[in-house]
Each structure stands twice: as C-alpha cells, then as structure tokens.
Structure 1
Amino acid sequence: MSHHHHHDDSLPLPDYDHLAVGELEHRIRALDAHALQDLVVHERGHGNRAAVLQLLGARLHQLGSGAQPTAGSSAPVGHSDTPHGSRVSPATSPEPRHAPPHGNPAQAGRPKANRG
C-alpha cells in the first residue's frame, strides 16, 4: 500500500500528520501566519480534525493580534525548540543539561576522607 501521497515536503512541519494535538500546540508556535494557513488548508483536506483546526485558528488569531512566532530572533539563545530539533544533538552538546556542576566537592573529597 505505497499509494499514500506524501505532501509532507510542502508542509511547514515535515511530520505534521503524525503529530498529536498536544505536540502541534508547541510546534506551531514557531510558525508564521503563512505556514499556519498552509496547515489549515492541509488539515481541512486531510485529517479535518476539529481540535487541530481550532488550535490553528486560535494561533492565527494570536498572530493577528500581534503575537510573534517563538523561533528565531526572539528565542533565548540556549533554546533547542527548533522546528527540526537538530540544532544541538545530545551527542555533540559539550555539556549535558542535567550534569552536576563542575567540581562537586562532596564527591571529589570523599575517597581521601574515607581512608582510615
């Protein structure tokens, strides 16, 4: 059954059709009004999910009222919420976020202290 048309390339979010509404809610914040309208048209012609159309419509309304897409210049520097999520992969990131701070004295000092 490989007759599934892949329109994914033309969409602002490549994996759009596989995203849950909750996922979409975060993803679409990085999109501008043009991208959102593309998604609305796509959704109407495909999934036509009321919750999704509502979400997209609400976001368009926010943008119309002066909200800004979150990705790009307004995003804080350490932000990994890029649409493709591949700007910093965990493997190449020099410092994992949940590493303990450098030179943790409790751990460094223990082996010497415990020698009787």
Structure 2
Amino acid sequence: MADSDRGTLPLPDYDHLPIGSLESRVRSLSAEEVEELLAYERTHADRLPVTEVLTARVRQLKAGAEPTSGDPGALRPEQGRGSGGSPVSPATSPLPFGPPPHGTPDQRGRPKSDRT
C-alpha cells in the first residue's frame, strides 16, 4: 500500500493511534479490514506490539468472533480538536494587579516592639 493510500485505511489517523486505543478500535473492524491494517503495519513501522494485537484480532475473527458495533472513525481523545490556544479571553481573565509591597492589605504589619 502506498503512502498516498494511508487515508483509505479502515481507521482514520491509524499511524498516530496509541496501542491501547488501537486494541479497542479494531474490535469494530472485519477480518479483511484488520488484515489490511496488518499488511500496512508490516510494510511501514512493523511495531511488534501492534502486529501482535492485529494478529490476535484476526485469529479471533476467523475463530467466529463478531465485530462489535460502533464507528471506528468516531472522535477519540487522541484526535482532540484543540485550538492550541488558551480558553482564557480578555473577557474572562482577571484584572491585573500588583502585589502589595509588604504583607497583604488585610493583615497590616505590627511594629517590631509588639512581637512576642
């Protein structure tokens, strides 16, 4: 499979999925789809833990396991749509202030002679 075909894989953004997420997401794929991912993995990164997960799932499916329901392309935490910026805006940020030079305004200092 050519790199240009990466977008046609059964799992969107497959190359960037953590193994824990991959393990749960391949459960909704057919044996042919998992074999397609396995072939892609072997010709590209060939990560042993990933090939073990995919091989085990192919064996399960060929032994009679059924794919689970669910959308393998559904939004996952690893595909977050973060804007990359802070959610704080000028309207929600506090007013700037300078700290008092000594102590706090609510706790006035006592003269040294009153200390015990």
Shorter-chain TM range is 0.5 to 0.7
CA–CA separation in structure 2 for the residues paired with 1:11 and 1:33: 13
Q: List runs of 5+ in structure 1 lacking aligned partners.
A: 72-80, 87-116
What is the CA-CA distance between 1:6 and the residue it aligns to? Answer: 4.1
CA deviations over 1:39-70 (Å, ceiling 9, x no partner): 01100011100000000000000001100000
Q: Which of residues 74, 77, 81 in structure 2 aligns to 1:85? A: 74
TM-score, normalised with respect to structure 1: 0.59
Which position in structure 2 is the counterpart of 1:7? 5
Which position in structure 2 is the counterpart of 1:48? 46
On the 8 A contact 2:7/2:13 being kept in 1, the answer is: no
CA deviations over 1:48-97 (Å, ceiling 9, x no partner): 000000000000000011000002xxxxxxxxx421226xxxxxxxxxxx
| Paired positions, count | 73
What is the CA-CA distance between 1:8 and the residue it aligns to? Answer: 2.4
CA–CA separation in structure 1 for the residues paired with 2:28 and 2:59: 15
CA–CA separation in structure 2 for the residues paired with 1:17 and 1:6: 13
CA–CA separation in structure 2 for the residues paired with 1:85 and 1:43: 21
Which position in structure 1 is the counterpart of 2:16? 18
Higher relative CO (Cα under 8 Å, sequence separation at least 6) belongs to: 2
CA–CA separation in structure 2 for the residues paired with 1:6 and 1:27: 23
Q: Does 1:61 align with 2:59?
A: yes
TM-score, normalised with respect to structure 2: 0.59
Task: Output the aligned Cα RMSD.
Answer: 1.4
CA–CA separation in structure 2 for the residues paired with 1:18 and 1:39: 13
What is the CA-CA distance between 1:7 and the residue it aligns to? Answer: 2.9
CA–CA separation in structure 2 for the residues paired with 1:85 and 1:14: 9
Rg larger for: 2
